[in-house]
Amino acid sequence: MKTIVVYKSKTGYTKKYAEWITEELGCDIKENAALSDILNYDTIICGGGIYAGSMNGGKLITKNLGKLSGKKLILFAVGAMLDEEKDTVPFWNKQLTPEQQKSIGHFFLRGGFDFSQLKGADRLMMSMIKKHLEKIKEPTDEDKGFLAAFSEPVDFTDKKNLAGLIEYAKNGGTV
Ligand X SMILES: Cc1cc2nc3c(=O)[nH]c(=O)nc-3n(C[C@H](O)[C@H](O)[C@H](O)COP(=O)(O)O)c2cc1C
Please report, as ranges, the residues that interact with ligand X according to CB under 6 A.
9-14, 49-53, 56, 78-81, 111-113, 118, 122, 125-126
Least Cβ distance, residue 111 to ligand X (angstroms): 2
Q: Which is nearer to ligand X, 71 or 153 (CB)?
A: 153
Least Cβ distance, residue 159 to ligand X (angstroms): 15
Q: Which is nearer to ligand X, 71 or 110 (CB)?
A: 110
As a whole number of Å, the end-to-end CA separation of the chain is 20
Q: Which is nearer to ligand X, 28 or 122 (CB)?
A: 122
Least Cβ distance, residue 63 to ligand X (angstroms): 20
Measuring CA to CA, how many Å separate 130 from each of 12, 78, 147, 152? 21, 21, 7, 13
- 3 state DSSP class of 173: coil
> By CB neighbour count within 10 A (0-12 exposed, 13-18 middle, 19+ buried), where does 57 fall?
buried
Neighbouring CB atoms inside 10 A of 87's CB total 15
Least Cβ distance, residue 165 to ligand X (angstroms): 15
3-state helix, strand, coil split of the chain in percent (to 5) is 45, 20, 35
Beta strand spans in the chain (E) = 3-8, 28-31, 43-51, 54-55, 72-79, 105-110, 112-113, 154-155
Least Cβ distance, residue 60 to ligand X (angstroms): 15
Q: Which is nearer to ligand X, 70 or 118 (CB)?
A: 118
Q: Which is nearer to ligand X, 13 or 20 (CB)?
A: 13
